[in-house]
Structure 1
């Protein structure tokens, strides 16, 4: 009887041991299947968004590598082998779909996303991995200087497993980098700097008009900086300062009244606005309407010799 009981007890221990091993194997198989299905460690994400408001829909964001010219466009995602271009996808609203495949998590809104396998050539992201941002439709009005290239950072890429184990705040702060684009510079609005140097004994007539307080007995250099000087038809034009009066004189506005009196270096007078033409007069006519007009800040140095 003791022998039978002892045998039964051993059988029960053996049964429990085998059952435990089977359960462990099944659990490992489940984890393995999950890994194969989602590629939690095998698949990584790279996320970014722009710092300033921008029309994301009109942008094309591609990835290239300075060493590997032909990056693979195929990858495994959700157990499927898919073909996707080496381009970021813009996620306007939060979604759990990417490349037509369902993800085990939701991607954040207003974010550019790229997924890639651990076996991809640029998987680990190195200094040769670059992001190029360009315009989809070049005929559209655009305020940014494009194309523009940014570096990919190794510490920004995160695996699916990391994504699942991180909260939304950490993902936003640690893994979604911000890019800032440079605005186009309007040449007409760009202020340039230049310096004009003259002798106190030989000051051009136009320059003398601009310096009513010049000390003609000075023994040192005198320096004056003038702003809003306009460069037009290869010449600089200066606004002539108006003489202050104690009591404003009554003026009668007429259709052909001229405004903004200007002079060139040699003292040729003209007006930048108004007059019969409505566009000024003399050498200054059209100066405010021309796209080629440049704005300067001019420093005038008068030497005593």
Structure 2
């Protein structure tokens, strides 16, 4: 047809669907069939079959199977770059499309650390739901941070600033920490001798994988360097429960320690470092009323944390 500008797929070029790339990207990030299957809510045989069909469609091997997991081939690495750009564009279009939603209605997913979600955010978000009955809030608490850029969550509340690009963020508070112990422990061990680096004392600490990411680790090394670490846990509530049972001294957020009346605050030569609380959301969603509504509500209600 003369004058028509019709875009056609070149002969022989395989038709790549977005789902092909979505499965490919998840495999590249998780580096295993089982991990990718869990992430996408499917089965390992399905992931294996999708990868086999995608490689057959492209006529190229995208991953090498290694004992340590899946490793991208040279072709796979090239496709990963383009697939990532396509994902960014698709997610941006989705965020803009959802921006047309008017009013405080719909679903918002919020993610945070487990104890922060349970002790601080849950009561606040429950209050928000009462004020806005058309809203639905999903609170996900996990040690693995969900991605704002990939729309795994709408709003994230974390300790420390966000490093991802394209995000809006604000500091919404600062949580004081302290050193605590149960009366039973204090009766058996007494108060720690800070001048002797806590020699003879036992402490409860964060598990090794997360120890360097929490502020009290350096404080414990400085003030209780000779204390014995008797118990580790990545759960703050788990640490508090162990302290109640007499396992040792523990650094806890004052707000969380207050939920365990059996614990006693210990006077320290220097304050246990507080933790700044930051709220983040994607720049493309700042005009969505339900996102802005939850963000502003949490920022207002958490002013007392400052």
Which is richer in strand? Answer: 1
TM-score, structure 2 as length reference: 0.26
Which is richer in helix? Answer: 2
